[in-house]
Amino acid sequence: MTAVIVGIGITSSCGESFAEIEQNVGKGKTGISNIDYFDTSELTCGIAGNLSKKIWKDVLQIADKNELDWSSSLSIYTIQRLLRSYNISRKQRIGLSLGTCNGGIHSLAEYLDTSNDKFLKNYPPYIQSKDIAHYFNFNGPKYSFNSACAASANAIAYGAEMINNGDADLVVTGGCDPMSEWVFAGFNSLRTFNSKNCMPYGEEYGLNLGEAATYFLLEDKDKAIKEGHRIYAEILGHGLSNDAYHPTAPDKDGSGISYAIKMALKNSDLKPEDILYINSHGTGTKANDSAEYRGFKTVFRNEMPFISSMKGYVGHNLGAAASTELAISLIGMNSQKVLYPNFNLTKYREDCNDEHILKKPYSLDGYEDINFINNNAAFGGQNVAVIFHVNLEGKYSHSEKKLKTQQPIYINNFGVASDKAYMTKHGIGILDDLRPLKKKYPKLYKRRMNMLTQVSIIAAKQTLQDQYSNSGLVYGTPFGSLSSTLKYVDSIQKYGFKNASGAYFPDLVINSTTGHICQALSLKNYSSSISSGGDEDLRALIIAHNALNKGYASTMLVGAGQEETELGSKVLEREVNNHATFLSLSNKKMQETMAEVLSSGAIGFKNKKELLSIIRSKIDEKVANGTKIKVMIQNNSEITNDELISYFKNDSNISINSENFADSNFKAFVNHRNENRLLLVGISQVNDVSFADIKKIK
């Protein structure tokens, strides 16, 4: 199967329809304007890519009527228009793959201002996928990527994998980030703003923020052709990496960017000369544009594709940046047969002096097929490059049938850490409960490092030992470090938005822990960060399992963690401790190999009856040939443990765990690793059930 884009829904400061994008971006008009909804008089910038008041009126009606966070309601507003021209059957499995940088932050701000618990329940970023699925009655699996400014690119890449693997019939994928005064103040603290309209690759340095929601509808190409659906682009492949360099600044030589692009080219069966255009990240900052351009030069050398960024039109849309700028580029290609240029670019900055960086629209007359890259970078060092093929006549051919081969994937080691102790298969060690990382690995500890990062690095290093080479990382956490978030908020409450803490702001983004782990252990391969509502560890395993099967990496570190805070316990409605658990996976059997992952996956459910039926059928499938299997269920759903216990009371091989945390499934594996066959089942707050079938290596 091959994923194609059959629908585009965009809500941006430059418009919410093809016609509006053509009238604005197509004619070189910016959507960046003055901010009039919070005070910017004491900040270094007062402009952004703002949505219209009319749009916000409609969005807030959805929010108020359904008691949703602004991010969920803006997404729903956009997806409503996305689906208008597509006739969806109730029998179709519709999955979600979403990206956000700070989705839910408005609800957290409202809670801290009012102490009203109704806002707190809407804070976790994964709630957005639950809200959308419930509103539209979607029944497929849901993935929420929190990879900061690359989140929607990560979501699109994995959304394509969901179609390619047959996990869903249709996938809604993209990202959303409304404007936040907290986030605006954070960028102000980093001194990254341009007080005028930003100009990526131009002489004026600095960025403008923006708000947007953009989603795509993905479908298998053969089905789309058969049904006569319009295809806007074919998704050929993707590459992910991490700079392992700095929390907010890119690696100066662009090595992480070039690594991701090379991976994407390899997995798309393309050569550098096959690429016509790069829809670049291009924020306008001095650090980003130069590093990104150097990364491009490393790959393409003297055969540079055309390059442009859309941020001069709509601002930096953070978690929605990749999807929004991709949509704008696709509208230009499909509707106007043109590559849109950078906004108002007249003179190149010194280290980006290249005529391939577009100053004017580039006509696609004479072209029939083009391949292009949507390239994105993020806080935490994460990079995502996705490659697309567009036929300008709308003519796409059926895919060649490829046999789907499942490689053996092995678990080689594990590591568990809290603030008091750590454990590996070799034994247990005691830690200092104030600064455990400083005691265990003093060279890896950095000032102000939060507890989630400390225990995660300890568990990760114990898992990998010294075998870091070429390892990727997929990490899950429900909402990152709330202790750092609250310290950042405290700086605003005490000293005002103009004096927001630049030290704590980077940890406001949830993927910051992933970035810290990668930097500490020099992990530069496949890198992703997720939130899912209680089964983050299994979701990380599912994503890594797929990456290993597809050859994106040969070794993967997968893990999950959570941090002990009073606010975190209140959000999850149970006491939370400082804890992280990791597994090391590879596609080769080693001397230290402990077990084999036979299969993994996730399935959406709508109600208790469906959930119980799914689990029952999955267990029956595994024991059909007489296999004895231990089943461990970690429940985070609205269905109570008592209900599950009652249903499975006659199954002595099934255990239902009441300790429901981000890494509880991995802890179940660690505690029962001597079982010959183990089925891990994680039920999440977003009404998904995840599975991993694991066989012990004797």
| Residue-wise pLDDT tens digits, 409-459 | 999 999 999 999 999 988 999 998 889 999 999 999 999 999 999 999 999
pLDDT digits (tens, 9 = 90+) for 157-185: 999 999 999 999 999 999 999 999 999 99
Residue 278 to residues 264, 332, 386: CA-CA distances in angstroms?
A: 13, 14, 10
Residue closest to 132 by CA, chosen among 109, 161, 155, 165? 155
Cα separation of 445 and 431, whole Å? 14
What residues does 489 pair with on adjacent strands? none
SS (H, E, C) 264-328: HHHHCCCCHHHCCEEECCCCCCHHHHHHHHHHHHHHHCCCCCEEECCHHHHCECHHHHHHHHHHH
Judge if pTM exceeds 0.85. Answer: yes
Residue 500: what pLDDT? 97
Question: What digits encode the pLDDT tens for the residues 331-359?
Answer: 999 999 999 999 999 999 999 999 999 99
pLDDT in tens, 109-153: 999 999 999 999 999 999 999 999 999 999 999 999 999 999 999
Q: How confident is the model at residue 89 (pLDDT cuts 50, 70, 90)?
A: confident
CB 146 within 8 A of CB 98: no
- What percent of the chain has pLDDT above 90? 88
| Confidence band of 650 (pLDDT split at 50, 70, 90) | confident
> What pLDDT sits at residue 30?
98
**pLDDT at res. 639:** 86
Torsion of CA 440, 446, 448, 449, to 10 degrees: -60
404: confidence class by pLDDT, cuts 50, 70, 90: low
CB 149 within 8 A of CB 321: yes
Token readout for 216 is: 């795509």
Q: Which of 259, 197, 188, 256 is nearest to 39 (CA)?
A: 188
The pLDDT value given to residue 162: 98
What pLDDT shows up at residue 1?
86
Quickly state the pLDDT bin for 657 (edges 50, 70, 90): confident
Pairing of strands 94-99, 170-177: parallel
Q: How far apart are CA 261 and CA 541, in angstroms?
A: 24
Q: Rounded to a whole number, what is the distance in angstroms from the first to the last CA of the chain? A: 36
* Average pLDDT of the residues of the chain: 95
DSSP-assigned letter for residue 399: P
- CATH topology (fold) of 3-391: Peroxisomal Thiolase; Chain A, domain 1 (3.40.47)
Tokens of residue 232, six digits: 């806007």
Residue 403: is its pLDDT beyond 60? no
Structure token pair of residue 179 = 């404007």
DSSP state of 50: P
Query: In this structure, are residues 340 and 25 in contact, taking their beta carbons and an 8 Å threshold?
Result: yes
- Options 3.30.450.20, 3.40.50.12780, 3.30.230.10, 3.40.47.10; CATH for 409-595 is 3.40.47.10
What span, in angstroms and rounded, lies between the C-alpha atoms of 460 and 674?
22
- Identity of the residue numbered 146: N
Task: Please tell me the least confidently modeled range out of 213-217, 367-371, 603-607, 639-643.
Answer: 639-643
Span 269-294, average pLDDT: 97
What is the per-residue DSSP string for 8-22? Answer: EEEEBTTBSSHHHHH
